Amino acid sequence: MIKVAFIVDESGSMCWLRDKVVSLINEQHKVLSQNVSDVYYYKFNTDVKKIRNLDSRELVDFTLVDYNPDGGTALYDAVIKSFEEITENDRYDDKYLFIIISDGEENSSKQPYSALKEILNSNLAKERCTFTYLGGTKNLSDLAISQYNIRPCNTGVFKKNLMDNSIDITRGINNYFCAISTGANSVDNFYEGSVDGN
């Protein structure tokens, strides 16, 4: 089984992108509905909330009611919570895709960086998980590479029009499912060719 998790920053600084974030996520429903998977949605500010999880054939579009930015950026907590919940009933053939979208640095987590590092360095994370990160700036994407061990071509940067990133994510999801269907356990080129931030 393939499990896809959207981990979306809902901190106050995302307020100006509110409608675009909702549209960006909804755009991915088209490609996800063509591939059998479980889809999970987490949003985070000072707290982490699982909004819903659905079979990819039963996806329901987000609305502005679902996404109300405020508070801080508990990125560590969000990744840890989503990873622990989604992999709780792990089977040897399960594969995981984590799509992290955030415009700012961690500043509100209750869990320490060491707890996040332990998860990212686990055998499961290394062998059957693909972590991707779409950040507000090149510096943040570089931080995702150095601190979170996210592969360089699995990081991207917000473009001038965030909806242009939707094309990159759709392409990445398609590439992911294609690679998994040929026997891969993870991918390291999710945002390949899409990291210039222009």
Four-residue CA torsion sign, 59, 6, 63, 74: positive
Looking at residue 197, its pLDDT comes to 40
Rg over alpha carbons for the chain, rounded to the nearest Å, is 15
Q: Which tens digit of pLDDT belongs to each residue from 50-100?
A: 988 888 888 889 899 999 999 999 999 999 999 999 999 999 999 999 999
- Spell out the residues 6+ positions from residue 7 whose beta carbon is closer than 8 angstroms to its own: 42, 43, 44, 78, 79, 82, 98, 99, 100, 101
pLDDT of residue 192: 80
Predicted confidence band of residue 195 (pLDDT cuts 50, 70, 90):
very low
Q: Cα 126 to the chain's mean position, in Å?
A: 16
Q: Where are the domains of the chain?
A: 2-181
Span 90-115, mean pLDDT? 95
Interacting residues of 176 by C-beta distance below 8 A, sequence separation 6+? 97, 130, 187, 190
CA distance linking residue 35 with residue 196, whole number of Å = 29
- Residues with Cβ within 8 Å of 41's Cβ and at least 6 positions away in sequence, in order, are 5, 6, 8, 25, 50, 51, 52, 53, 62
Tens-place pLDDT, residues 12-60? 999 999 999 999 999 999 899 888 889 999 999 999 999 888 888 888 8
Of 174, 26, 94, 128, nearest to 190 by C-alpha is 174
CATH class given for the domain over 2-181? alpha beta
